[in-house]
Amino acid sequence: MGKNVMQYSDFVEVYEGLFATTKRLEKETILAEFLKKLAKEGEPEWIYLLRGKVTPDYDDRILGLSDKLAMKAIGKTFGIKDEEIAKRYRKIGDIGELAEEFAGKKKQTSLFAKKLTVEKVFSNLRKVMGIEGKGAVSGKIALISELLGQAEGKEAKYIVRTLVGQLRVGVADATVRDAISEALFPDEKQEMSKKLEIAYDMANDFAVVFEAASKGKGALGKIDIVLGRPMNIMLPVKVTEIGEAFRICGKPAAIEHKYDGFRVVINKVGNDIKLFTRRLENVTNQFPDVVQTIKKYVKAHEVILDSEVVGYDPKTKKQRPFEAISQRIKRKYDIEKLEKELPVEENVFDVIYYDGKSLMQEPFVKRRKVLEKLIPHEKWKIRPSMQIVTDSEEVAMKFYHEALKSGEEGIMIKTLDAPYQQGRRVGYIVKMKPAANDLDLVITGAEYGSGKRGGMLTSYIVACQQNGEYLDVGKVSSGLKELEQEEGTTYDEMTKLLKPLIVSEKGKAVKVKPKIVVSVTYQNIQGSPSYDSGFAMRFPRITQYRPDYHLKDIATLDDIKTEVEKARRGMSHLG
């Protein structure tokens, strides 16, 4: 069979299979079978479709069509009036199933019609994403109509779900990785899964990884970080006491302040400087001051630095908490004004690439040496992170208390001879800070307020994740600010963030696409049938909006179960 004739119905079969089971291993087997075929008969890029995408993860663009536009396209394709579509939609409540219903009803003149190829679907979806400006809406509708006109019921369902960014088949990155391993390296599955994870963290692109893996181990090993592209960063695990930190990191270990700022990876190639967040977003335009600082003080032609940008008060020179600087991440206008009001200092704690060479596999001490050579101590501009190296718990605890006293969040403990390991894995870096009941969660729904808060979305359904599914853990309505003048995100701002994400409305309640991540503190978590996670937070309160966080960073259901278990043990301990 030729490469370009693979049919979209093959994908549909996989989606249906994935949807039908919640068991990760079953999902993996389904995917692995399919990937064997895809490696032979398809294009590597088509693998994005398995996760409802048409671009690699480092690419900022998303499909994310509104349900409204999708309804228009369905109406146009099947010649149905807007009101009728809207009525059916209210009844069915799912835009994918709506498309399926109309596509399934259309006259069977399609007996001799061409089958939809994956190539056609992929290329039209890409074009839909690419169209901008005048005539974009009608252009998009035409491209979608072309697909829906040829689609069978189920095909239409998944095309539309992909378009609105809600494939809902519950496949996590890790499952795709393990499935690639099972498909292509069945005899060394576990070992190769780890290699695939490393390759994926560098490339941030399943097509690149899948293509290399199809060629063999050698090609996979050659995948490296790419200058100028966002990359996955190294993340710590949490410890609650210093002994545990040393057990994980070894003795002696490096200990650093944990700055309460904003993680930024800096990419410099000559005068071309780019800043990326931990969720791979480009924030270069929001921080012209940081770009200037790097230009002025970092004497390297090509370099990738890992750092924390910390805000401070220009008058008192006191550090400002993350909430303050998060305004700068969000802001798209008046940047210069904000730059003066909220100046920042760059605290550099790692160097990942330096003049033509990746330093990822070099031990941390060696990277630190390069860093100290490259980064000057320029107060309020840039400096190497504060660090000591010790094997004494006592010295480490003294450093910890000093860090807290000077307003830092806690400390980071780092293994001296460790490579730069992307992702959150036990081993080379841990964080220690005072315990707090707090979870990072995503908003999946909201409700309009009343009285002076009418028209604003003022309470929010928040969810954790498990294998790519979002599970509600409670409703939170406090913590945000009422007025613009106060520090922090306001209800009004949150409403503006959420409105474009609304997928359905029922009375005062709306459902939104999972995108907005918030940190929530609570008194405790209890088992509860009211939310689909099976748990509910008591007295939750939003402490921060986290525009810098990725959906991948939010708490998992397992994290919540661990918290519940810990609290239970703590209680029985007390009483």
Q: Which residues bind ligand ATP (CB under 6 A)?
A: 235-236, 256-259, 263, 278, 308, 349, 385, 412, 431, 440
CA distance 477 to 540: 8
Smallest gap from residue 269 Cβ to ligand ATP (A): 23
Give the closest residue to 49 by CA, choosing from 159, 183, 193: 159
First to last CA, the chain: 69
Give the closest residue to 264 by CA, choosing from 272, 274, 273, 275: 275
Which residue, judged by CB position, is nearest to ligand ATP in the bound state? 263
Q: CB burial class (10 A; 0-12, 13-18, 19+) of residue 147?
A: buried
Smallest gap from residue 265 Cβ to ligand ATP (A): 10
Smallest gap from residue 15 Cβ to ligand ATP (A): 32
Tell me, what amino acid is at 431?
A: K
Angstrom distances, CA of residue 235 to CA of 238, 412, 429:
10, 10, 7
Q: Half-sphere exposure (CA, 13 Å, Cβ side) for 220?
A: 24
CA distance 275 to 289: 11
Look up residue 336 and give its two tokens: 């210069």
The nearer residue to ligand ATP, 62 or 237, going by C-beta atoms, is 237
The nearer residue to ligand ATP, 65 or 264, going by C-beta atoms, is 264
The nearer residue to ligand ATP, 261 or 474, going by C-beta atoms, is 261
The nearer residue to ligand ATP, 84 or 402, going by C-beta atoms, is 402
The nearer residue to ligand ATP, 385 or 458, going by C-beta atoms, is 385
Smallest gap from residue 431 Cβ to ligand ATP (A): 5
Active-site hit among 53, 72, 157, 258: 258
The nearer residue to ligand ATP, 188 or 402, going by C-beta atoms, is 402
Count helices and strands (H / E) in the chain.
Answer: 20, 22
Smallest gap from residue 260 Cβ to ligand ATP (A): 7
Contacts (Cβ under 8 Å, ≥6 apart) of 332: 285, 286
Give the closest residue to 518 by CA, choosing from 491, 485, 557, 558: 491
Smallest gap from residue 308 Cβ to ligand ATP (A): 4
Q: Which stretches of 46-188 are DSSP H helices?
A: 67-78, 82-92, 95-105, 118-130, 136-150, 153-163, 173-184
Strand, helix or coil for residue 408: coil
The nearer residue to ligand ATP, 362 or 440, going by C-beta atoms, is 440
The nearer residue to ligand ATP, 176 or 348, going by C-beta atoms, is 348
Counting other chains too, the contacts that 14-23 makes at CB distance below 8 Å and 24 or more residues apart are: 14/50, 15/158, 15/167, 15/169, 16/154, 18/169, 18/170, 18/171, 19/168, 19/169, 19/170, 22/170, 22/467
Smallest gap from residue 256 Cβ to ligand ATP (A): 4
Smallest gap from residue 388 Cβ to ligand ATP (A): 12
Known catalytic residue at 340 = no
Q: Which stretches of 250-321 are DSSP H helices?
A: 288-297
CA distance 119 to 52: 15
Q: CB burial class (10 A; 0-12, 13-18, 19+) of residue 190?
A: exposed
Catalytic residues: 258
